[in-house]
């Protein structure tokens, strides 16, 4: 019998309407399977973070890992801030502004401490919002080099050509952090994840994601 | 020249000190105003940052940035009055 209307036949959607069916990351990633979802939003290594999103995130896209620079990279700035905090005490002990009335000296000190707080705060927010995001679709590098400079680069996982991790020196080896260089076929050739924790673990995850992306293509997992 | 123009006798130590302190206050207040602009940039930048990376702690950071800005405004006014 010739079928005129066949409800079992799947209607193919145009490519823009096709939704990719992702498996849960724990099904294919050994690295992610070993990680508990991160609840501490202040950490520098956040696997499967809870309550964290980004502006260009797609509905079907899941954040797998969020990375910040290792806290050790901020030690120099913290020390500079501590010295800034102590500077008025030093100035007072050597009588640097002793030729000025007390009200002026006090005003200088108060303003200096406010500026020290501002310095600490700006260093902190630049560190906090300067993130590297790995989703099940792409990599995103959010850079706030200073308070007035923003640079966001992203690359699809299937555009990744080469991944390398560089850990150099005693400090990086002891505290387990390093730089991951991801070469892509996109317009921005290299995406650097600078001084991130556990570089080998992140590299392994990226390899697993790449492999899964290839499997998705081969198996045609679209509905 | 100041002496000739304004008719001030800068040889008078009290007057010279007053003029000097006024100069110090002027430079200091320019510094405070410049810092106020920086504090406002921090407030605006946190809005951009929190729209880029959406986290539950962003409102707290925004609150801190506003507190920082308002502290500078408050002390700026205090310095203006007491110096």
- Look over chain A and give the mean of its residue pLDDT values, rounded to a whole number: 87
What is the structure's pLDDT at B7?
66
d(CA A115, CA A84): 9
Residue contact A148–B83, C-beta within 8 A: no
ipTM: 0.87
Least CB–CB distance from A150: residue in B41, B48, B79: B48
Q: What is the pTM of this model?
A: 0.84
Chain A residues within an 8 Å CB radius of B48:
150
B35 and A118 within 8 Å at the Cβ level: the answer is: yes
Q: Nearest CA to CA, how far is B5 from chain A (Å)?
A: 27
Q: CA of A103: which chain B residue's CA is closest? A: B83
What's the CATH fold of domain A24-69+130-219? PH-domain like (2.30.29)
The span from the CA of A63 to the CA of A57, in Å, is 9
Three-state secondary structure call for residue A105: helix
- The model's pLDDT over A26-54, given as tens digits with 9 standing for 90+, comes to 888 888 998 999 989 999 999 999 889 99
Contact residues, A window 150-179, toward B, CB-based 8 Å cutoff: 150, 152
Nearest residue to B28 via CA among A89, A96, A107, A116: A107
A152 to B49: CB separation less than 8 angstroms, yes or no: no
Tokens (6 digits) for B20: 């000097």
- Within A43-115, strands assigned E span 45-47, 53-54, 63-67
Residue A144, beta-bridge partner list: A150
Domain range annotation of chain A: 24-69+130-219, 75-125
pLDDT of residue A223: 44
Chain A residues 183-222 with CB within 8 Å of chain B: none
- pLDDT at residue number B14: 85
Nearest to B46 among A51, A110, A125 (CB): A125
A150-155 LR contacts (CB < 8 Å, sep 24+): A150/B48, A150/B52, A152/B52, A153/A188, A153/A191, A154/A56, A155/A182, A155/A184, A155/A186, A155/A188, A155/A191
Structural domains in chain B (count): 1
High-pLDDT (> 70) share of chain A, %: 88
Please give the residue that has the higher pLDDT: either A15 or A50.
A50
Spell out the per-residue pLDDT of chain B, length 83, in tens. 556 566 667 778 888 888 999 999 999 999 999 999 999 999 999 999 999 999 999 999 999 999 999 999 999 999 999 98
* pLDDT score, position A122: 94
Q: Provide the residue range defining the domain that includes B25.
A: 2-82
Angle at A45 between CA A44 and CA A50, to 5 degrees: 105
Q: Which of A52, A100, A110 is closest, CB to CB, to B75?
A: A110
pLDDT in tens, A56-71: 888 888 999 999 999 9
- pLDDT at residue A186, as a whole number: 65
Q: In chain B, how long is the greatest CA-to-CA distance?
A: 64
- Tell me what percent of the residues of chain A surpass a pLDDT of 90: 54
Max mean pLDDT among A91-95, A100-104, A112-116 falls in: A112-116
A76 touches chain B (CB under 8 A): no
């Amino acid at each position: 019998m010739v079928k005129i209307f066949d409800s079992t036949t799947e209607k193919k959607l145009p490519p823009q309407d096709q939704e990719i069916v992702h498996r849960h990351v724990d099904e294919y990633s050994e690295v992610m399977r070993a990680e508990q979802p991160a609840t501490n939003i202040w950490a520098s290594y956040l696997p499967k973070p809870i309550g964290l999103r980004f502006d260009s995130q797609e509905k079907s896209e899941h954040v797998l890992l969020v990375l910040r620079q290792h806290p050790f990279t901020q030690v120099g700035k913290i020390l500079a801030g501590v010295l800034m905090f102590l500077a008025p005490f030093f100035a007072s002990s050597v009588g640097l502004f002793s030729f000025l009335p007390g009200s002026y000296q006090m005003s200088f000190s108060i303003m200096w401490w406010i500026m020290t707080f501002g310095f600490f705060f700006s260093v902190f927010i630049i560190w906090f919002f300067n993130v590297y995001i790995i989703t099940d679709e792409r990599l995103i590098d959010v850079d706030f080099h200073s308070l007035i400079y923003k640079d966001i680069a992203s690359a699809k996982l299937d555009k990744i050509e080469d991944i390398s991790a560089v850990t150099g020196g005693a400090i990086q080896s002891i505290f387990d952090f390093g730089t991951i260089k991801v070469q892509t076929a996109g317009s921005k050739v290299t995406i650097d994840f600078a001084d991130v924790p556990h570089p080998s673990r992140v590299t392994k995850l990226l390899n697993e994601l790449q492999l899964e992306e290839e499997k998705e293509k081969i198996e045609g997992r679209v509905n | 020249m100041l002496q000739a123009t304004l008719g001030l006798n800068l040889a008078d130590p009290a007057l010279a000190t007053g003029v000097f302190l006024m100069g110090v206050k002027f430079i200091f207040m320019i510094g405070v105003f410049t810092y106020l602009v920086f504090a406002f940039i921090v407030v605006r930048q946190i809005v951009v940052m929190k729209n880029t990376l959406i986290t539950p702690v962003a409102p707290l950071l925004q609150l801190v940035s506003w507190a920082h800005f308002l502290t500078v405004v408050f002390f700026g006014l205090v310095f203006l009055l007491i110096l």
